[in-house]
Amino acid sequence: MSKTNNLTQLKSATATLVVPLYILATFTTSSAEVPKTAVIHYASDPGVRLLLGATDSMVAKPGQRMQQYKDAVGVPGSKKSLSRLSLPNPTHNKIGALVQAGPAPVSSVYTFPCKVSGSVYFGWRKQGGSCSHGLWVVPVASQLHSSKVRSLASKNTHSATASKNLLQAQAATDLVRYYCSTVTTSKIGEWITSAGLPSLETACQESTQKCEETTGSKCLVASLGDWSVNDPNLAVSMQCGSNQSSVISARTRQGNGSLIDRLLSEITQMSQAVRGINCAASIYHPNEVIVSPSNDELTLIQTNNTGGNVEINVLVGSVNIVSVGRTSGFKVDKGFRYALGENKPTPLDCDRIFKSQPVQEFLDTANWPQEVAGELQSYRSGFCKSRERPPNNGGGGPDIWIDPFGGRGGGGSDRPTRPGVSGQ
């Protein structure tokens, strides 16, 4: 792989290209791997559907696997409907992540390999964890294409309507471009990103082949995704390790989909110039966030969707969250909730959340393969604790956490100036 060594020229160019560079101290330099499959362990009822591709839908059942990009499990809004899945990590010969979608008042979706919406519990770690380079959290409405929603409701669609839907889906597909980042498994930390290709398979095949030819080492897929060339508002970022064990996150300003190839190329050159290692690209929308464990501790989050706004509850460990508004990323510790668009995280009512049905379902060792029993115990012992809540004696009102079915609770008004946050 060619390396750009004239950093002075690149810095001069960025004044014109408006591509800022950020340095964070919350990232480890180990490679991350996108899972090759997801396994369904439990589906509560026939309303939980396995969605294959754009139109195929069937009842989700234990033992089924997702292996194609954008396959998904959809859980309807209900107090009882839920599904549990695991993401094996073949490199480390163990389970890399645990996923529980639902129950919640809104529909919840896990889309293979690393995207969720609605109320989803996601447990993983940075070292040996699937999706450790980033879990996409998106609003419910943007997770399922309209064709998939219709397939959940009924298979008896009128043929003319079905044909029209297929034509519309094909037209949309023609505007989609794919990207794929691969990183080497060796200590040299090389990487390649291929982008702007007509299929994910082509992008990953090209990226892997170039990476392995350049390094002479095996390479793994670290991040992947797509975008529409007609999208008016996107952001591009690159997360890398460095020789100083910090993360370099180079991000373009927002641009339309037709500019992504050029902007990603500019970020790649910057990352090469500062000798970033194991770099992985991300392309995302303003209403989405990218969440990753901030260290190698077990990490458990719950995602929520309130009024179309994405929320992240950090229950175990700590996470780094990247969004269009926070392109340099920031760390949120356990016991805090972050809502997209808010200035700072707010304390959670950890005691109430711990006792809730969804959390107890997740922590029950009988609900998962025996090999993760020890991890589940660690999740339980590492679960956040509620902060002390002194009486409200005329100060600001207490922070309120609203659980999925209307429970209330929250931390006191004596919270730190910027609670639960570092790396500002």
User: At CA 355, angle to CA 41 and CA 421, rounded to 5?
Assistant: 95
From CA 160, how far away is CA 127, in angstroms rounded?
50
**Chain CA centroid to CA 382, Å:** 22
Helix (H) or strand (E) holding 109: strand 108-111
What does the pLDDT read at residue 388?
Answer: 63
Q: What is the pTM of this model?
A: 0.75
Mean pLDDT of the region 411-419:
36
Which tens digits make up the pLDDT trace of 212-241? 998 888 998 888 888 999 888 888 888 787
Tell me how crowded residue 217 is: count the other CB atoms within 10 A of its CB. 14
For residue 207, pLDDT beyond 50: yes
Smallest CA-to-CA distance from 253 within 276, 235, 271 is with: 235
Query: Tokens 């163990």 identify what position?
Result: 94
Cis before residue 404, ω within 30 degrees of 0? Answer: no
Mean pLDDT of the region 396-418:
33
Which tens digits make up the pLDDT trace of 243-291? 554 455 556 667 888 888 888 888 888 888 888 888 888 888 888 999 9
> Do 64 and 81 meet the contact criterion of CB atoms below 8 Å apart?
no
Residue 202 three-state SS: helix
Which tens digits make up the pLDDT trace of 14-40? 322 333 333 332 333 344 678 889 999
For residue 172, pLDDT beyond 60: no
Share above pLDDT 90 across residues of the chain, in percent, rounded to a whole number: 38
Mean pLDDT of the chain: 76
Per-residue tokens: 80: 């009882």
